[in-house]
Structure 1
Amino acid sequence: MNVMSVLNQIMNQAQGGQSRQGSQGGMDVNQMMGNLGSQLSGGKGGSGIDVKSLLGGGALGLMLGSKRGRKMGGKALKYGALAGVGVLAWKAYQNYQSTNQGQAQPAPVQQGQPLEQLQGADQERRGLEILQAMIMAARADGHIDANERQLLTQEIERLGPDDELQAWIQQQFDAPLDASALAHNADSPQAAREIYVVSAVMIDEQNPMERAWLEQLAGALKIEPNLARELEQQVLAAS
């Protein structure tokens, strides 16, 4: 399945069309790091988030609920955290280790690599986990109706997924919202943190149903409250 092609385009929408793919089809890690650094430092350069483009629609806009009349406002800015999600999750973990445990950083192989550093089948598998988390979080308030689902399906088709991925995406709209099943698919602690980060990006923290989903997911992923707070702070810092 060409999941990373679709995920890259969705992340590209989050940055208003500024992201680029690497020469071998993976994510351009240098670009991601540059964009993330600009965001974390409050930069306003070309790697910033084009909010107008973000709110204009596309798969991301539909998934985030811009067609459902949500109050986007400044909250829209945090969607830029979708680009560089692995780096954000890893940085949050490092901060958590330093602040709460005071222990030496474990070797990366013990925790799993960030999404942006994976290659080939490993990146595709992680990308599938990330996309599944995004869809479940978007469904957490129960407001995707038949018309919106059709629009989103058409938009995703435009992004060019293969038949297998298209069928998988349709299954995600019909599958029960199951935090345990989503957590079971996480192939490493780093994957669990990335699933939490993208879910935190997608939800409206003012919506009780969506907030409850995020808390349920944290429990299923075995993410401690202090780490969950650090992950959410990284999302806000990337705004």
Structure 2
Amino acid sequence: MSLDSLFSSLSNSKSDPKSLLGGLLGSSGAQGALGGAASGALVSMLMNGKARKKIQKNAVKVGGMAAIAGVGYYAYQKWQQSKQDSAPAQVQVLPAAAPAANLIPPPLPPDLAGASFQVRVTGELPMKMVLAMIAAAAADGTIDSVEMSALADAIDNAPVEAAEKARLTSALNKPPTVEEIAGLANGPEEASEIYGAALTSIEVDTPSEHLFLRRLSKALDLDEQLVATVHETLEKA
């Protein structure tokens, strides 16, 4: 993605970057959702303008990372549901002791907003998503020195531990490869959430960006229909 339009929108905005996403850092719920990854300013800068506008309303309510993770989470649930709906009916003989609750799939969230409230953004997932966003933003190699400085400053001001700041700074100076990002994913649902996060940082309007997303989806071992559903989810948000 070219970050030119993104930083243009930031500089032309009447708000400070830290106030983007509806005063994300001032929300008690947002602090927990951002836990251990980045401040609202960094997440805002990494998203492309279109994605930021689409996700902003959910981010104010549930936190930036939960709103972004909701894209991949909702797409994954929709994809799972479509697989179940298309599967041929089978008669199963179940052991008497099998608990019926385990046979009922989780209900499909009603929409992206519902998914953002349901998704669990805990542990290392926020960091994994931000690393994917950094790699995506750098995919076409057009982050200039001014943009780099702004992102580095956002990392410096992020309310996270020194070790996490160092990890983010390292990623900014040397973005992780698609293979390294894929190695962070813990299962297909998380892989979908990481891919969705990367997608929010990219305009998908250059060959290098298309190639990045193809390589990332392959490295994450995502089904083609699932990938299409992630794109559709963000487009219709």
TM range (shorter): 0.5 to 0.7
Q: CA, structure 1 residues 87+204, in 2 after alignment: closer, same or farther (shift >3 Å)?
A: closer
Partner of 1:185: 184
- In 2: Cα distance, 1:218 partner to 1:171 partner: 23
Name the counterpart of 1:130: 129
* Paired AA for residue 28 in structure 2: Q
Task: State the partner residue of 1:158.
Answer: 157
2:205 is aligned to 206
Equivalent pair of 2:72/2:230 in contact (CA under 8 Å): yes
Distance of aligned partners of 1:232 and 1:13 in 2 relative to their CA distance in 1, 3 Å threshold: farther
2:72 to 89, 96, 101: 89
Counterpart in 2 of 1:26? 32
Given the two structures, how large is their TM-score scaled by the length of structure 1? 0.64
* C-alpha deviation, 1:129, in angstroms: 0.6
Identity of aligned residues (%): 24
For normalisation by structure 2, the TM-score amounts to 0.64
Q: Is the 1:14–1:60 Cα contact (8 Å) retained in structure 2? A: no
Distance 1:105 1:93, change over 3 A: farther
CA-CA distance at 1:118 after TM superposition: 3.8
How far is the alpha carbon of 1:107 from its aligned partner? 6.6
Instruction: Give me the whole-angstrom Cα distance separating, in 1, the residues matched to 2:28 and 2:137.
Output: 25
* CA positional deviation for 1:189: 1.7
Q: Distance in 1 between matches of 2:199 and 2:174?
A: 20
- Structure 2 counterpart of 1:190, one-letter code: E
Aligned position for 1:17: 23
Could you tell me whether the CA contact under 8 Å between 1:179 and 1:216 is conserved in 2? yes
Counterpart selection for 2:53 from 77, 87, 94: 77
Structure 2: segments with no counterpart, 5+ residues: 1-17, 35-39, 59-63, 88-102, 108-114
CA deviations over 1:16-51 (Å, ceiling 9, x no partner)? 32683339x5239xxxxxxxxxxxxxxxxxxxxxxx
Listed as ranges, the gaps of 5+ residues in structure 1 are 1-11, 29-56, 66-71
Distance 1:217 1:168 in 2: 20
* TM-superposed deviation, 1:14: 5.7
